[in-house]
Structure 1
Amino acid sequence: MQVPRIPPLRWSRSLCRRLSGPGIRGAPRRFGAVAGGSGGRLDLRGIYPPLTTPFTSQGEVDYVRLEENVRLYDKVPFRGFVAQGSTGEAPYLTQQERLEVVRRLRQAVSKEKLLLAGSGCETTRGSIEMTAQVADKGADAALVVTPCYYQGSMTSAALIHHYTEVAEASPIPVILYSVPANTGLEIPDDVVLTLAQHPNIVGIKDSGGNITRLGLLVHKTKNENFQVLAGSAGFLLASFIVGAVGGICALANVLGTPLCQLESLCFSGSWDKACELQHRLIEPNAAVTRKFGIPGLKQAMEWFGYYGGLCRAPLLPLSKTQVTELHQDFTSNGWL
């Protein structure tokens, strides 16, 4: 497969113009404090692992193991970390556990790295309250997943109202989170394009894997201070080609350095090497996401020197047969 020969300089200049546009007007008080970019806007460029949540043998959150993992990850050139995403088993944690995870991570993570925290709840009021609380615990931005329990009622109007209310109340920037595999609901294009105009909504993590959609969102928001993040390592290269600025990828918990290398190869225009690396990441990524999920990811973490451990019930550990298959997905691509 030949990757299209996009002229590196032309592409990167266009992207840089979009990334370094004028600051956002009317931004909340904490907006400029974590920018890392021009004009006081939050710069999301880079790779982020959505951190897993370790548990003790008694099923309690193991904050010590969490901090140990972060110290190891701090050696990888990540742009930052995500707490309380789908990979962090957020739906299985109490509100107090979720907030304590964010607090501990903010203390453990290097100051120059961003901490994005999941704060989406099923109600608008709950999302507003959780967003304020993760901000208080030190999160730099809130990752807000779609409410989905009453899926049939989540019209474009309902979603626009929900996210607008959250963004208006939030003391930190808001990132939309579309993960249809888990919610059964993709944030519609028209909703994203409308919300991209809000001064406190700075981007989207899109895990749907529709590259045409990602390219369209990049194209249609090129005049907004809005950034697109790929939600999986399986389509990271393609996402960069159409203008995504980074990725929040579960596989980064295991193969963080190669994912950062892929980003570097893309932005330097080394397409052949980038394509070769992307091919080697596809099967391992599928294994720790849709095939075996979080139990598979935590098992793989053990092989690469991190603490994975058990998931919280009702998630079950892998069977011996599944462990063997998972191992093969990594060894056949040269990672083990």
Structure 2
Amino acid sequence: MIAKNKLITAMVTPFTKNGDVDYGAAKELALALSKTGSDGILIGGTTGESPTLSNNEKLELFKSVKEAVNGNADVIAGTTDNNTSESIKLSIEAQKLGVDGLLLTVPSYNKPTQQGLIDHFNMIADSVEIPGILYNVPGRTSLNMEANTTIKLSRHNNIIGIKEASSDFSQITKIITETSGTNFRIWSGNDDETFSIMALGGHGVVSVASNIIGLQISKMIGMILDGNIGSASNLHKDLLPIFEALFWVTNPILIKRALNISGFQ
């Protein structure tokens, strides 16, 4: 169940030198991630360069990764864009492939109202039987999903959490407070905010850095859950330069370079 996932890795999408998706390399990386602390693996998210992938490529990636991890990690499929009907179609096809959950990203470019966001996500969630995680990333989409909107969407049975990458801690705190006591989860959408969001009551992280340092991030999460806040804080401080360095330029440029340096092509 993806609701139990503490560390979800936003996996990169490997390409060949010709620009084709390298499905073999994707399977290899996914298997490695499942052995280095990742409870879940997100395919077709921001780090996976989803806008550059066709729906057929996405579906083949979902299938390949699901086969590769063989139940050792959950597979979460990024299936949504700014077209509601196409998002529904891709979500249904991903469900047929056996993915464990969906990432439901705030639409870019269209700039819908907050009620429009509620309608968009409810329609997608109504179309499938597997759980979805909302994704608020205004730095990419130019639109912030407000706390009250998230709270309303949290009441849908198929919407079990949010990946919050707004860096608005007042907003994040309100979501955590208002959904306390429910089954709704809040994952940090930024590695450098994981410690702080979990200290506020957040559930975990959808991580970029865990493509290369999953064991260390998993260890930090474990420390927080065990109440070893001082040790977790020290490890967070040790990892912070890596978190920051990976975003000196647009993601996923540097995480892909880091994977290359570590031996993954």
Q: Is the pair's TM-score, using the shorter chain for normalization, greater than 0.5?
A: yes
**Does 2:199 correspond to 1:235?**
no
Which amino acid in the other structure matches residue 285 of structure 1? F
Count of aligned pairs between the two proteins: 265
- Corresponding residue of 2:151: 193
Give, in angstroms, the shift of residue 250 of structure 1: 0.6
**Does 2:114 correspond to 1:156?**
yes
Alignment of 1:272-311 (within 5 A): 272-289=230-247, 291-307=249-265
Give secondary structure in 2 for the equivalent of 1:116: strand
Structure 1's unaligned 5+ residue stretches are 1-34, 36-41, 308-336
**Does 2:92 correspond to 1:132?**
yes
Q: Could you tell me which of 61, 69, 72 is aligned with 2:32?
A: 72
Which amino acid in the other structure matches residue 7 of structure 2? I
- Corresponding residue of 2:140: 182
Give, in angstroms, the shift of residue 172 of structure 1: 1.1
Give secondary structure in 1 for the equivalent of 2:160: strand
- Corresponding residue of 2:165: 207
Q: Could you tell me which of 115, 122, 140 is aligned with 2:75?
A: 115
Greater radius of gyration (CA): 1
- Corresponding residue of 1:87: 47
Give, in angstroms, the shift of residue 248 of structure 1: 0.4
Structure 2's unaligned 5+ residue stretches are none
Give secondary structure in 1 for the equivalent of 2:176: helix
How far does the alpha carbon of each residue in 1:259-285 deviate from its partner, in whole angstroms, 9 at most, with x for none? 001101111111122111111222221
Range moving further from structure 2, 175-184 or 84-93:
175-184
Range moving further from structure 2, 286-295 or 181-190:
286-295
Give the superposed CA RMSD.
Answer: 1.4
- Corresponding residue of 1:260: 218
How far does the alpha carbon of each residue in 1:93-133 deviate from its partner, in whole angstroms, 9 at most, with x for none? 11110110000000001314211110112111111111111
**Post-superposition, which runs of at least 4 consecutive aligned residues in structure 1 deviate over 6 A?**
none
Give, in angstroms, the shift of residue 305 of structure 1: 3.4
Which amino acid in the other structure matches residue 164 of structure 1? N
TM-score by structure 2 length? 0.95
**Does 2:6 correspond to 1:46?**
yes
Q: Tell me if structure 1 keeps the 8 A contact 2:5–2:40.
A: no
Q: 1: distance between equivalents of 2:163 and 2:51?
A: 18
Q: Could you tell me which of 118, 124, 131 is aligned with 1:173?
A: 131
User: Identical aligned pairs, as a percentage?
Assistant: 26
